[in-house]
Amino acid sequence: FRCTQCFGRPVLCGGCLVRSHQFSPFHWPEQWVDQNHTSNKELWEQLLEVDIWPATHKRPKTGFTMEVLRHQRCFNLRSKTNLKEYYDVLSNQIDQIPLFMQYTYDQFRLGSREHRGLVTHMRVGRPDATAPLRHGELCVSCPTCPNPGVNLPPNWERDPLK
């Protein structure tokens, strides 16, 4: 099994999973089968497997947890907090910010934009973000808006009561 909420998404046997999650009832474990213990994957691919979004794909030295990216997006949508304000609040939560962490805003900005773009593509069923987009393709259709052939009866144009 592998826990999707624990940092690093550790792979555990059933008994160890139950013991380690005795006080974490809201975590979502998933059954997982590891078919290959060796990895020829690039570093950025390995980071993604443990839910860390790399700041760059060439030589990642900085990464952000998927949880912080989802949390930031939620704050942005619900409270209209911009990225810089969110980053400043995170920075203020840490008493002593190490020198190397003081200059990560640009990486966080780029990483969150890339993450949001890919999530948007996946939400509408387009996992290939490199293909060109048609106008309006990333829009989510509204199920309650009238749409001929979807939620309007045939010959609705000729209905005298419309």
Tally the C-alpha atoms within 13 A of residue 49's C-alpha that lie toward its C-beta.
12
Dig out the tokens for 43 from the structure.
Answer: 């570093």
- Residue 92 and residue 80: Cα distance in Å, rounded? 19
**pTM (2 d.p.):** 0.61
Query: Could you list the pLDDT tens digit for every one of the 162 residues in the chain?
Result: 778 778 777 778 888 888 888 887 777 777 755 555 445 678 888 788 878 899 887 888 888 889 899 999 999 989 988 999 998 888 777 666 555 556 788 889 999 998 988 888 888 787 777 777 788 787 877 888 888 888 888 888 887 776
Q: Residues in the chain, how many?
A: 162
- Residue 102 and residue 90: Cα distance in Å, rounded? 11
CB atoms within 10 A of CB 41: 11
Q: What is the pLDDT of residue 95?
A: 61
Using alpha carbons, list the distances in angstroms from residue 85 to 5, 71, 114: 25, 13, 19
Q: What is the pLDDT of residue 97?
A: 58
Dig out the tokens for 37 from the structure.
Answer: 């213990």
Q: What is the pLDDT of residue 146?
A: 85
Question: What end-to-end distance do the CA atoms of the chain give, in Å?
Answer: 56
